Amino acid sequence: MLKAEIVTALGMMSGTSLDGVDAAILQTDGEVIHSFGPTAYRPYSAGERAVLRAALGRWPGEDGVEAAAELVETAHAQIMARFDDVQIAGFHGQTLAHEPRGRGTHQAGSGAVLALIAGYPVVWDFRSSDIQLGGQGAPLAPFYHFALARHIGADAPLVFLNLGGVGNVTWVDPSRVGPEEPGALLAFDTGPANAPLDDLCMARLGLPCDDGGALSAQGQADKGVVAAFLNDPYFHRMPPKSLDRAFPGLAAKVAHLSDADAAATLAECAAAAVAEAFVHFPEPPARVLVSGGGRHNADLMGRIAARLSCRIDPVEAVGLDGDMLEAQAFAYLAVRVARGLPTSGPGTTGVAAAVGGGQISAP
């Protein structure tokens, strides 16, 4: 177990958008962020994305899972080789299935394999312990968001919004003593964000995403589809709550629309889902800081801003790297696991009490 000292940690994240692996160095003692280090990105090729897509929704031992795991391990080993002087790494793996009230959670890839290759400890399987103790197992970045709020000197409640394949929010009260204190955090998945738009663009246009929101900006959202979407029981559940690759039936609901109108409808659904989250916050935030690929989608950002009454900015506005926030989070969480500190709590995953997750594999 690590002592309370500053450690050079590498965090790695490959999210539900299946675009590639983000990696980032963080100097931290697992409580305070001391400095940010180098970053790297290893994209998945079209063929690799196809392998991963074929394994979505599947569990260990099922068809396609072994090939996906080998791909994930290879990609992560390649990106780990770009960094020097790493003391510990946090490896999230590629989520293939997530059923916190069912079969559990499944992230492809073995941290033990990566530890052998890299020659230093790797922390992985961050979600299973939380689920076993009654939590949702997601989202896991909120404890890092608390540290970020302190790092940027926030003095009023604020929200971190991540627009990845799925959207998630963390409401932070930086005046609290620590992230595990009651009332410090409230976090949950908002609903679909980039994933339905990316799927639409790939299926109809052969493109990985709606670059900048250019397509959706040309269309008109179908208000009936958006209204039906907001009637889904998920939006009426109290947080914490989490999703996998959410709302698979949404694509069928826009199948009759033109490319532009379908994209506009999916963007409006994502924005509406974010706005719905705000009814659950203990008090209105002073500001929303956005990370993830969705912050580059000007049309999506504009749709969200139109539904909110507070300021919304990319995290770059406060000097942070929105492409690497989640990778940094798993560097931070790896150090917390190695120090025996909690990584989730009642306000973030719904687990009964603050709990540490993850297993450590030595080289």
Report the pLDDT value the prediction gives residue 18, as an integer from 0 to 100: 87
- For 313-327, the pLDDT digits (tens) are 999 999 999 999 999
> 10 near 331, Cβ under 8 Å?
yes
Average pLDDT over residues 261-288: 97
What does each C-alpha distance from 234 to 189, 247, 308 come to in angstroms?
Answer: 10, 10, 20
User: What would the mean pLDDT of 247-253 be, rounded to a whole number?
Assistant: 88
User: What band does 143 get if pLDDT is binned at 50, 70 and 90?
Assistant: very high
CA distance 350 to 72: 29
DSSP readout, 42-92?
A: EEPPHHHHHHHHHHTT--TTSTTHHHHHHHHHHHHHHHHTT--S--EEEEE
- Report d(CA 24, CA 330) in Å as an integer: 9
Q: What is the DSSP string of 282-327?
A: SS--SEEEEESGGGG-HHHHHHHHHH-SSEEEEGGGGT--TTTHHH
Residue 71 to residue 35: CA distance in whole angstroms = 31
Provide the pLDDT confidence category of residue 244 given band limits of 50, 70 and 90: low
Instruction: List, in order of start, the domains of the chain with CATH numbers.
Output: 7-139+323-361 (3.30.420.40), 153-318 (3.30.420.40)
Mean pLDDT of 171-177: 97
Query: pTM for the whole thing?
Result: 0.93
Cα 229 to Cα 223: distance, rounded to the nearest angstrom: 10
Residue 167, classed as helix, strand or coil, is: strand
* 210 and 293 Cβ atoms separated by less than 8 Å: no
Half-sphere exposure of 262 (CA within 13 A, CB side): 20
CA distances, 182 to each of 10, 24, 84, 112, 175 (Å): 29, 30, 38, 34, 12
Dihedral class, residue 37 (left if φ above 0, else alpha if ψ from -120 to 50, else beta): beta
Q: Is the pLDDT of residue 139 over 90?
A: no
Output the pLDDT for position 245: 59
- Helix residue spans in 165-258 (DSSP H): 194-205, 214-217, 223-230, 250-253
Q: How many CA atoms lie within 13 A of 86 on its CB side?
A: 31
Those residues with Cβ within 8 angstroms of residue 346's Cβ, 6 or more apart along the chain or in another chain: 182, 240, 352, 353, 354
Q: Which residues contact 37 (CB under 8 A, 6 or more apart)?
A: 8, 24, 25, 26, 27
Dist CA 347 CA 240 (whole Å): 6
Integer Cα distance of 201 and 191 in angstroms? 19
Q: If pLDDT is split at 50, 70 and 90, which confidence band does 346 have?
A: very high
- Cα 169 to chain centroid, rounded: 10
Q: How far apart are CA 212 and CA 269, in angstroms?
A: 17
Residue 317 in tokens: 């506005």
Q: Which two tokens stand for residue 328?
A: 């940094």
